[in-house]
Structure 1
Amino acid sequence: MQDEHAPAATYSVLFVCMGNICRSPTAHGVFRHKVVHSGLADQVRVDSAGTHNYHPGEAPDDRSQRHAAQRGYDLSSLRARQMLPRDFGQHDLILAMDWDNLTLAQERCQPEHAHKLRRMTEFCQQFDSPVVPDPYYGGAAGFEEVLDLVEDACEGLLHHVRQQLQLRARPR
């Protein structure tokens, strides 16, 4: 029997790209939206960061915000930050948008947290893409592709997180 006064199980996800202004804040905003609408906002923490410190404190790229808003996602409150050593211990799952950023995260990660590092697209259910490509130097189609991949991966990720929360909630 679960103690009704025990704190709910929690789970934390960190999305990572290079500068934290296009892909990872898009994933952050989309997954946060899905978490809230699934009733898990009190159990799931969502964050994003960049492997590089190119845009500290800046809002997501205007194009990312515009395309996300057209699909009902608000990224305006998010601010870019660099991934920190403490992120590896604070998050249960760290999802890189591509191979380069996964490699950078792996190089910085303490061995005991290496199992937390994965690629975002591993959670895709419809699309078969090894990475979420960087749309920064492209046009509108690139930002739409990012949203397509991220929305798909976030559905698979939400299913995964629900399973993890159920496992944590089980009495031992």
Structure 2
Amino acid sequence: MKNYSVLFVCLGNICRSPTAHGVFRHMLAGHGLSDAVSVDSAGTSNYHPNSPPDARSQAHAAKRGYDLSDLRARQIQAADFETFDLILVMDWDNLTQVKQTCPPRHQHKVRRLSEFSLQFDSPVVADPYFGGVEGFERVLDLVEDASEGLLRHVRAQVT
């Protein structure tokens, strides 16, 4: 198997992208693909450098069996465009910001995570930060669904 790498991106890298990072990492492990696929997450802003994921994100993820505790926030860097095979953003603002900084030769790598959804018809994974419990549960629902589709895509790339 060849190596493949995925970067998840949201605004601050404390809610949506670390949730996607943790969920997809868990799925890869469950399918024996951890050695073939690397996963990371970043934010378009540097609001929370080196901070753990939001406590609410961690709590909701833990209820579904995902551990996000080892993840730390960071801002997307120029080197990420070279390093990662796929850069998946959570919403339209993230898409615009990432595309503005992405070199033309790597634009094809930048996509929305929701493009991989199998069941939900949501164009974005909305930011739950200022909302209630339902927002964090919705993020998990959307991320789990899109991660299933992403797993199919990635499996085709590495086998």
Short-chain TM bin: over 0.9
**One-letter code of the match for 2:6?**
V
Deviation at 1:164, TM superposition (A): 1.0
Q: Which residue of 1 aligns with 2:21?
A: 28
2-structure distance, mates of 1:92, 1:86: 12
Deviation at 1:93, TM superposition (A): 0.2
**One-letter code of the match for 2:46?**
N
- Structure 1 residue 85 corresponds to structure 2 residue 78: yes
Q: Which residue of 1 aligns with 2:35?
A: 42
Deviation at 1:32, TM superposition (A): 0.2
Aligned equivalent of 2:67, options 58, 74, 79: 74
TM-score by structure 2 length? 0.99
**One-letter code of the match for 2:152?**
H
Q: Deviations over 1:34-85 (max 9, x none)?
A: 0011000110000000000000000000000000000000000000000000
2-structure distance, mates of 1:156, 1:130: 14
Q: Which residue of 2 aligns with 1:107?
A: 100
Structure 1's unaligned 5+ residue stretches are 1-7, 167-172
In the TM superposition, what are the counterparts of 1:82-161 in structure 2 within 5 Å? 82-161=75-154
Deviation at 1:165, TM superposition (A): 1.2
Deviation at 1:141, TM superposition (A): 0.2
Deviation at 1:26, TM superposition (A): 0.1
**One-letter code of the match for 1:58?**
S
Aligned equivalent of 2:49, options 45, 56, 61: 56
| Alignment: residue pair count | 159
Classify the secondary structure of the residue corresponding to 2:78: coil
Structure 2's unaligned 5+ residue stretches are none
TM-score by structure 1 length? 0.92
Larger Cα Rg: Structure 1 or Structure 2?
1
Classify the secondary structure of the residue corresponding to 1:12: strand
